[in-house]
Amino acid sequence: MGRSLMEALDAGEWIGPELNGEYMEKIIDCTVKIQKYNTTAMTSREEMVSAFEDVTGRKTIGSTIVVFPFRCDFGFNIFLGKDVLVNYNCTFLDSACITIGDYTKIGPDCHLVTAIHPMDHMERRTRIVRGEPITIGDDCWIGANVTVLPGVTIGDRCVIGAGSVVTKDVPDDSVYAGNPARSIRRRKFSIYTRNHDRPNADTDMIRMGKRSWRYSYQKDLASLLSQIERPQNRGRIPSPWTFFGTVHRNAAKPLDTIP
């Protein structure tokens, strides 16, 4: 006996003619629920959440919200974390699992596409399809009109620029943009990182950025005082902007390069 539709989807197998009927039935069932979600007059957040839970078949967590209009194939392959925002007019083709981590924001008009069709045109006539999962980590920001292709994993704390097409995996703490999306830079740990998420945030920031704001501030002050003591500067009162400008310029330098 062959696999069921759910087993074939989970395994990433080709859905052939023998399962096409059930495949289309699931899509039609979801389409009816999506139409209700997108067109029903709702008067509260609770009604929106309840209607979306009917699409996915599971409870949302925290203040997670999906703003309509929204479209998907099945719904049951969508897994959203805590406090996720999916903005207007997004499309999730969830032939395979789409997993989005906590606190992640998905901009408007984004497409997360897990479905794959054959490259050969004759095979495509048979309407076979399979899926590869998409995973997006915690604390990510996916800009407007981004397309994520099948099988892609985006790590934690990543930013994807608007209009990008993500064709390959993105490591943690990265900024990617373009078509195809490429690395622009690696993000440093923010001084605003939540302590309960990263208890050693200050230590990590110093280790990765190779600088300490307190130490930099002290060196900038010492540099300014040494300038005041120079013979040509005696009797002059430096502007406070001189000092703060020095702090701003040195903030992005490694400690061992600050004069």
Which residue is catalytic, options 117, 121, 196, 248?
117
How far is Cα 115 from Cα 133, in angstroms, rounded to an integer? 9
How far is Cα 221 from Cα 37, in angstroms, rounded to an integer? 60
CA R_g for the chain: 25
Question: Does residue 117 carry a catalytic annotation?
Answer: yes
Give the sign of the dihedral formed by CA 34, CA 40, CA 41, CA 44. negative
Please name which of 207, 6, 16, 248 lies closest in space to residue 127, comparing C-alpha atoms: 16
How far is Cα 144 from Cα 163, in angstroms, rounded to an integer? 6
Q: Mind telling me the catalytic residues?
A: 117
